[in-house]
Amino acid sequence: MPSPTRRDTPRPTPPALPTDTSQLAPQPSPSSPSSPPPSPASPASAPRRKGPYRRLFDLPGARAFTAGNLIARLPMGMFSVSAVVMIAGTRGSYALAGAVTATGLAATAVVAPWTARLVDRYGQARIALPATVFAVLGSLALLLCVRHGAPDWTLFAAYAATATTPNTGGMSRARWSHLLKGDADALHTANSFEQAADELCFMLGPVLAAFLCGTFFPEAGTLVGAVLLLTGVVLFTAQRSTEPPVRPRSPGRAPFRAPGMRPLLVVCLATGAVFGSMEVVTIAFADAQGHRSAAGAVLALQAAGSCAAGLLFGAMRPAGSVRSRLPWCLAGMTALMTLPWLAAALTGSLPLLAGALLLAGMATAPTMVTTMTLVQRSTPEGRLNEGMTLAVTGLLGGIACGSAAGGWTVEHVSAAAGFAVPVAAAGAALLVALVLFGPSNRSTESRRPH
């Protein structure tokens, strides 16, 4: 008989798998004690939460555009000092140097908002880079006119051409607003960092300019500043992934006409007067003490205090609304600005004045961060660069007025009495914040950050 094949052989049926997969796990025997439940993870093994600044710069592209922007922003503290040293050193006239820099400041106040409007309409890369090239050519023209003894009027024309310099700080804040849309806490940290960066650049810029002009040749500060500006803007605008989207035809009203904006600009004007008067009066006081060369270091301490306070303020989560916080910040600034006045009037000591300025500077960054946050919330969608530049224009106008008031007080009263001007300017800003921010302007608080 033929032997049976494998097909003919009956195959045993496999046992059915349990439907409950928990039955697959080994079960403890009844006689063995049950295993203790797993202990919760200890605090040491739990992942540590990142700090606010680390979380901020972990965003894709944030470090790259920040690095380029800082390079471009450093010359903002160099150009005025470099121009004064260069013109006064070769032409022998501080009056001419002051008039030229004042002309550039006035031209910037007029041109900068228009440049920012074009940036909002056509994009940062398309507008900021050509505007920077034009401004750099103006700086180089000023350098050549000074070096080759051109007529005085050419200095005014050349320096006025630098007014097309884009507001690099405003463009950086616009990128943060785009990346952090809807996250008020992270935007608070970003604004605090930007204010600290402003203070750092305006602290290091004049020192670097004075070093270059004194060590090499009078035109060195302007030349290096122009190279840094162009390099930084090229690096900054190359980061297209973080650039805010372009809105060719924004339906919103102009930022200047937005609810709550004009009171904020008045606050910026008065706050700028604090900065302008403090700079002039401090230089005059140090000169009266026979230490004019130390004025830059003394003013740097004020910027250092503001920089440190800005970084600390960004790591905090202040209580209350941004709107209600502004009067408190201005009240703190008014109170702390009395310290330099008391140090100068009661002691006449430059070291004590330096310590008082370090403390007084700590009120600057929180005030500016709060003000700029309100400006962001008041600015219509798609017009943020223009709104931020209007605030900077208000600050520049206040700096010019404060410089004039401080200089007049020093000349007609005394250098120590000049420190009353920053106190009065801070008090004026506080009064404006208390009076003009009435119920009709509550829209500035209800808007989400954008």
**Lowest mean per-residue pLDDT among 40-44, 192-196, 303-307, 334-338:** 40-44
**Chain-wide mean pLDDT for the chain?**
82
Most trustworthy range by pLDDT among 46-50, 139-143, 277-281, 406-410: 139-143
Residue 308, exposed/middle/buried by CB under 10 A (0-12, 13-18, 19+)? middle
Chain segment 307-323, per-residue pLDDT in tens: 888 888 888 877 777 78
In percent, the amount of the chain with pLDDT more than 70 equals 84
User: φ and ψ at 22, to 5 degrees?
Assistant: -65, -20
Interacting residues of 13 by C-beta distance below 8 A, sequence separation 6+? none
Q: Tell me the CA distances in angstroms from 42 to 36, 37, 414, one per residue in order.
A: 17, 15, 65
Q: Which ranges in 180-260 belong to alpha helices (H)?
A: 184-215, 220-237
Q: Given this model, what pLDDT does residue 91 score?
A: 85
Is the model's pLDDT at 443 over the cut of 80?
no
252 pLDDT tier (thresholds 50, 70, 90) = low
Chain segment 129-141, per-residue pLDDT in tens: 999 999 999 999 9
Rounded to an integer, the average pLDDT of 271-281 is 87
Q: Name the 3-class secondary structure at 260.
A: coil
48 pLDDT tier (thresholds 50, 70, 90) = low
Q: Report d(CA 363, CA 330) in Å as an integer.
A: 8
1 pLDDT tier (thresholds 50, 70, 90) = very low
Q: Given this model, what pLDDT does residue 31 score?
A: 43
Rounded to an integer, the average pLDDT of 3-16 is 43
Rounded to an integer, the average pLDDT of 384-388 is 83
Identify the sign of the CA torsion 95, 99, 100, 105: positive
Is the model's pLDDT at 4 over the cut of 50?
no
pTM over 0.85: no
